[in-house]
Amino acid sequence: MRRMSGRPQRLTRTQRRLLVTLHVALSVGWLGASMVMLTFAIAAQASQPAGTARSAYWAMHLLADVLLIPLSLSVLLIGLAVAATSPWGLLRHRWVLVKLVATCAAVLLSLLALPAMTGIAYQDATWQALAAERDAGTRLIIASSVSVALYLSLTTISLLKPWGPTARGRAARQPVGTPRVHTAKEQLVKAVIAGGGIGGLAAAVALHRRGVDVVVLERAGQPDTAGAALSLWPNALRGLDQLGIGDQVRRHAALGGNSGIRRPDGRWLARARLGQAIETRFGDPLVIVHRATLAQLLAGQLPPGTIRYSTTVTGVQPGKSTEAASVHTACGGQQADLVVAADGIRSTLRTALFPGTPGPRYAGYTAWRMIVDDPGGTEPAETWGPDGQRFAIVPITDGRCYCYATADIPAGTAFDDDAAELRRRFASWHAPIGALLAPLTRHDVLRNDIEELPPLPEMHRGRVALLGDAAHAMTPDLGQGACQAIEDAVVLAASVSPHDPTSTTPALQRYTAARLPRTTAVGHRSRAAGALYHRPAPIRWTAARLMSLLPPAAIARSLSPVVDWRPPTVDVPR
């Protein structure tokens, strides 16, 4: 995915916001004065008593001297300043040029109409003298009408931005993620990311593409190749598009959404062909990708040496607006303008920053995950048994299947051999479950008790941003864990200014304001969706049959609050 990058802004964000606000206020004033002028002109043309007509023209003359001329010049000059400091660039996009031309035309038409109006105002107070200037009055009405229409049209252009880049803009086209050559005078924001999982890598890529100097500290000694797959819904794919790897992920992923629910004896309770409905409604499909594949694609976007393995973060000093943060590791410490805590559900940094908040809580069930060879002809399905037991089969790429299983058991239960435990519980269920489990060894299976985090009061503290499971670990019942981490990364990068270290603290306040309500709501929905799985089997089976009566479009529509998320643009500086 490629994006235009505008020229560097010459003003700070606050200064430009004030300039734009002033321009809007003056424009509204200019439009109001022009409308009043037009009303007076029509009234004067329609007036029969000469004195009344001349009074109207004198009022117009006074209005022009006091308001219209100063406002016209101010709108024109400040409009040029706004366009020149725009991230789109003065000459980079056609809609900017059209807006400038329309602004100039509207203002000039108003100014050209003033001499005619002034001449009318100074005529003798006789109807015959005023009648001789009727043509000039008509020209005034036409000019005022056209100028008002032009300004309304350029307002529409400003909102719609209908035209693309000019030749000069195309010449400056730069793909997202192309490394920027920085001058020696520039002060780059330095970010340290604790954790090299999906969320940490996504944050690293997003910040790197914004021009931030990034380091990732990962406690593992090598890239994780754990046997698990991830559901990436359209909201995550849109976020990955902003990171420049959306199309690569789609090529390496399998389509999801077409599945069903079965009983242990193999009878179907429901079949759901949601894939097409999801893509039709949201513009992208649900895809399934191996976790290691996604991690590899993300890591490939970073410069060599960015990820430092075998480095455990042990603590942090969050800093403040006037003081850098400090990250502590077994190898020493380092300062940073921004620290990203992406160190998982048992985050060391979250515990240090929010010591009084509750830690992870057990959701009531455990989960096994594995990647197995597809024997061929395997249908995607989730099978529901008693005691919260489920077994899911999800075909992925390269002739493999991603499988997961769950059971309601006490927290902390340990098994000597998880593969043997899976066979004990599920091998007697319908084919091909037994065949998929037969060759597994204990090393092929991952198991975790499912836990979630109560919402934090905020997703930052000082110069430290919390991201992914470190901030809002949720149950996997909506498949949104990785998706929300990717959303976090995109919003964080869009909030941060890469060349203004002093702006980090307000940027993180905006990050919390944007992300905390959404992640809290998605976590609540995920928990509510999972509540059904812990009901007695007959209740769950009845619910599955009732859900099968819903049309796919209705099910897709019910997912809108979660899936229909639009990312901010991660601008890449030149």
pLDDT single digits (tens) 416-451 = 999 999 999 999 999 999 999 999 999 999 999 999
Please give the pLDDT value at position 7.
35
Task: Report the percent of the chain where pLDDT is more than 70.
Answer: 75
Please give the pLDDT value at position 21.
76
The reply to whether 394 and 343 lie within a common domain is no
352-391 as b/e, with b when 16 or more CB fall inside 10 Å? bbbeeeeebeebbbbbbbbbbebeeebebbbbbbeebbbb
The reply to whether 138 and 267 lie within a common domain is no
Please give the pLDDT value at position 207.
96
Please give the pLDDT value at position 184.
35
The reply to whether 348 and 472 lie within a common domain is yes
DSSP state of 277: H
Please give the pLDDT value at position 146.
73
Residue at 183 is within a domain? no
Q: Which CATH number covers residue 416?
A: 3.30.9.30
List the domain range (segments joined by +) for residue 345.
190-360+453-563
Quote the mean pLDDT of the chain: 83
**Number of structural domains the chain divides into:** 3
Residue at 457 is within a domain? yes
Residue at 185 is within a domain? no
Please give the pLDDT value at position 82.
67
pLDDT single digits (tens) 105-163 = 766 766 666 555 555 544 544 444 555 555 666 766 776 677 677 667 766 665 555 55
Asked if residue 230 has pLDDT above 90, the reply is yes
Which of 452, 473, 497 marks a domain boundary? Answer: 452
The reply to whether 463 and 505 lie within a common domain is yes
Please give the pLDDT value at position 97.
64
- Top-confidence residue, 116 or 379: 379
How many other CB atoms sit within 10 Å of the CB of residue 449?
16
Please give the pLDDT value at position 173.
36
Cβ–Cβ < 8 Å for 520, 453:
no
Which of 452, 469, 493 marks a domain boundary? Answer: 452
The reply to whether 437 and 482 lie within a common domain is no
- Top-confidence residue, 501 or 354: 354
Of 159-168, 355-364, 514-523, 527-536, the one with minimum mean pLDDT is 159-168
Which of 142, 171, 200 marks a domain boundary? Answer: 171
Joined together, the tokens standing for residue 164 give 């693309």
Please give the pLDDT value at position 90.
52
The reply to whether 123 and 88 lie within a common domain is yes
- Top-confidence residue, 124 or 203: 203
Chain Cα centroid distance, residue 335: 28
Asked if residue 186 has pLDDT above 60, the reply is no
The pTM score is 0.69
Q: Which CATH number covers residue 555?
A: 3.50.50.60
The reply to whether 489 and 346 lie within a common domain is yes
The reply to whether 548 and 481 lie within a common domain is yes
pLDDT single digits (tens) 235-275 = 999 999 999 999 999 999 999 988 899 999 999 999 888 99
Residue at 574 is within a domain? no
The reply to whether 109 and 196 lie within a common domain is no
The reply to whether 255 and 397 lie within a common domain is no
Residue at 126 is within a domain? yes
Residue at 181 is within a domain? no
Joined together, the tokens standing for residue 412 give 């902390």
The reply to whether 81 and 120 lie within a common domain is yes
Residue at 572 is within a domain? no
Cis, peptide link before residue 432, omega less than 30° from 0: yes
Residue at 177 is within a domain? no
The reply to whether 407 and 485 lie within a common domain is no
Please give the pLDDT value at position 127.
46
Please give the pLDDT value at position 319.
93
